[in-house]
Amino acid sequence: MSRASSPPLRPRRGQAGLIAAIAIAALVVAAVAGVFAFALLRPEPASSSPPAPSPETTTTMPAASPTPSQTPTPPPAPPVSPAAQTCDGSSTLMTVWAHPDDDIIFANPTISDAIAAGRCVRTVFVTAGDAGKGMDYVRARELGILRAYNAMRGKDGEWDATDIALDTGVHVRRLTPKDDPHLSVLYLRLPDGNITGAGFDATAHATLSKLYDGTEGSLVPVDGGPAVTRDQLVGSVRELASAFTPESTLTHIPRGSVFAPGDHPDHSAVGTLVRDALTSDAAVGPGIRYFVGYPSENLPRNLEGAVLDSKVDTYRIYTQQDQVIRCADRTACLKTRKFGEWLQRSYAKTEVELQMG
């Protein structure tokens, strides 16, 4: 038997509304997802400048500039000599002589005037002036010099003694008044070479001239100190000049000058020593003055009156310790053979005036 067809089924009204709402929600979700996908996948827009960094990452870069050249390292300062003495703003006069008394015979009143003016005066004696007589005579002459300097400064007083080893290895004995650091006297105490230049038996005929000429390799000081070579001696004069920074320097006439013949060989050797050591020093060389020694007796007298009286009295005070040339008063000093004539003169020469042969 055949069956008859039935009408199609229809959803209920409530079910239809639910289905429609779900469909709409799906469309909305799809649309929102598309928008986010577009925003995330879209390329950055082109820009000519980078974005500003955040404050935490900001870096300050130095301005572009040429690389500065390196500042050269200054050379190390030269070592300070153990003999260095400051001068408290005053200028310094350095004097270098062969024997104790050459300064007060040939270079006064220049030295006494410097002391009176408040300048610093540093006096160096290269030989002991021992005359082959030993250390007792040497100490007597050294004491006489200190008393002469007391007279020039117008004050008696004790002097402090200091034994110094220079950087050159040369030993010197330095005396300074306890109450006046402006003055100092230094003794190297090398052997006296004798007026003949042959030296003395007591010191094996060692002389400064032989050392300087190279026939003696070294000289032993009369006090038994370390032997001194020519190079050490030259270096010591340079070291002392560096230590004192003198504005002016006084010494003997050197060998080769027209004023040298007839002078003591030690005088000529010391003048040559100072000239060789210091003339090339631009700070010291122009201030060197060379004093005529024994040959000054052939030049006109150029000291008199109060200046001469003061010079002679200083010399007289010194001679009270020197048994060889002691004189009791002004008249006796001026009558002393040779010395009386030298005392009445003082001639200083510049480098040009030396008339070197």
- Whether residue 39 is contained in a domain is answered as no
Kindly state the tokens that stand for 229. Answer: 């070579």
Residue 223: CB atoms within 10 A of its CB come to 17
- Whether residue 181 is contained in a domain is answered as yes
- pTM > 0.95: yes or no: no
Cα distance between residue 284 and residue 277, in whole Å: 10
- Residue 172, domain extent: 92-292
- Whether residue 346 is contained in a domain is answered as no
Sequence-ordered strand ranges (E) for 178-266: 183-190, 248-252
- Whether residue 350 is contained in a domain is answered as no
Q: How far is CA 239 from the centre of its chain?
A: 8
Q: In this predicted model, what pLDDT tens digit does every residue of 82-124 receive, in sequence order?
A: 999 988 878 999 999 999 999 999 999 999 999 999 999 999 9
Helix, coil or strand: residue 291: strand
β-partners of residue 339 are none
The CA-atom distances, in angstroms, between 328 and each of 139, 149, 316, 323, 336 are 20, 18, 7, 12, 11
- Whether residue 314 is contained in a domain is answered as no
- Whether residue 96 is contained in a domain is answered as yes
The pLDDT tens digits along the chain (357 residues) read: 433 443 443 444 444 444 444 444 444 334 434 433 333 334 344 444 444 444 333 344 444 444 445 666 666 666 689 999 988 878 999 999 999 999 999 999 999 999 999 999 999 999 999 999 999 999 999 999 999 999 999 999 999 999 999 999 999 999 999 999 999 999 999 999 999 999 999 999 999 999 999 999 999 999 999 999 999 999 999 999 999 999 999 999 999 999 999 999 999 999 999 999 999 999 999 999 999 999 999 999 999 999 999 999 999 999 999 999 999 999 999 999 999 999 999 999 999 999 998
- Whether residue 338 is contained in a domain is answered as no
| pLDDT at position 46 | 41
β-partners of residue 288 are 249
Residue 157 sits in a domain of what CATH number?
3.40.50
What DSSP designation does 327 have? -
Q: In this predicted model, what pLDDT tens digit does every residue of 218-264 receive, in sequence order?
A: 999 999 999 999 999 999 999 999 999 999 999 999 999 999 999 99
Domain tally for the chain? 1
Helix, coil or strand: residue 136: helix
Cβ atoms of 169 and 232 within 8 Å: the answer is: yes
The CA-atom distances, in angstroms, between 187 and each of 169, 195, 228, 302 are 15, 20, 14, 30
- Whether residue 287 is contained in a domain is answered as yes
Helix, coil or strand: residue 89: coil
Residue labelled with tokens 């001026």: 334
